[in-house]
Amino acid sequence: MTGPDFSFEQAAQAQGAVRVAGVDEVGRGPLAGPVTAAAVILDPTNLPEGLNDSKKLTARKREALFDRIMATAEVSIAHASVEEIDALNILRASHLAMVRALDGLPRRPDHALIDGNLLPRGLTIPATAVIKGDALSLSIAAASIVAKITRDRIMWDLAQQFPGYGWETNAGYPSKCHKAALQDLGITPHHRRSFKPVHNILYQEKSTTP
């Protein structure tokens, strides 16, 4: 199976778009931490070699590509906080982070390629939803790498402040270590209270009352 290519970007350019941004997010599944989105406009004359869906790359390869993307492309990174996730729900918070990432680009793109099957509300430019876009579009693949590296670094920093949950390795996802720490150490300000494992612990006493 071949990796992502530039065909979605070229299709948008054929319709008159000059600057095409790929957008992806990471962090829908974790029990803790923000959801992070990136918007990337690649330079078609200087595409980093080896771009692929971040999940298909080794950590070392991701780090190297992150540096190349940051050096050669226009990049914007944005987040939706734990409070926003709990208030809005994770899908709407993810979309909010995506819109913020697009709005944060130094120059306005003409078109956006959005990973997923739904377009976020609040977009101010034409956009295309691309299912499994990080495996199909080079721009979305680049955004997936930038978002993952950025969020992993955030969770590593938070792990130093709140040791014991394993965030430096599980990035807030519900690993066995993380769920055990929730029971033993309790809930931190960075936990998503609307997510079931956290919610259940938060209201454990209430739920176990006869």
What does the pLDDT look like over 21-66, one tens digit per residue?
A: 999 999 999 999 999 999 999 999 999 999 998 989 999 999 999 9
Q: Which residue has the higher pLDDT, 53 or 170?
A: 170
Identify the band that residue 202 occupies on the pLDDT scale cut at 50, 70 and 90: confident
Rounded to the nearest 10°, the torsion over CA 176, 26, 2, 61 is: -80
Q: Read off the CATH number of the domain in which 24 is found.
A: 3.30.420.10
Assigned domain for 107 exists = yes
Residues 6 or more apart from 30 whose CB is under 8 A from it?
155, 171, 172, 173, 174, 192
Pinpoint the alpha helices (H) of 51-175: 59-72, 82-88, 90-103, 138-161, 167-170
Residues 6 or more apart from 157 whose CB is under 8 A from it?
none
Assigned domain for 180 exists = no
The answer on whether 134 is annotated among ligand-binding residues is no
Residues 6 or more apart from 15 whose CB is under 8 A from it?
111
Assigned domain for 77 exists = yes
* pLDDT the model gives residue 205: 44
Identify the band that residue 112 occupies on the pLDDT scale cut at 50, 70 and 90: very high
Assigned domain for 96 exists = yes
Reported pTM: 0.94
Assigned domain for 192 exists = no
The answer on whether 115 is annotated among ligand-binding residues is yes
**Domain range for 31:** 7-161
* pLDDT the model gives residue 2: 81
Assigned domain for 199 exists = no
Rounded mean pLDDT of 173-194?
A: 96
The answer on whether 24 is annotated among ligand-binding residues is yes
Assigned domain for 207 exists = no
pLDDT digits (tens, 9 = 90+) for 147-164: 999 999 999 999 999 999
Q: For the chain, what is the domain count?
A: 1
12 has a pLDDT exceeding 90: yes
Assigned domain for 46 exists = yes
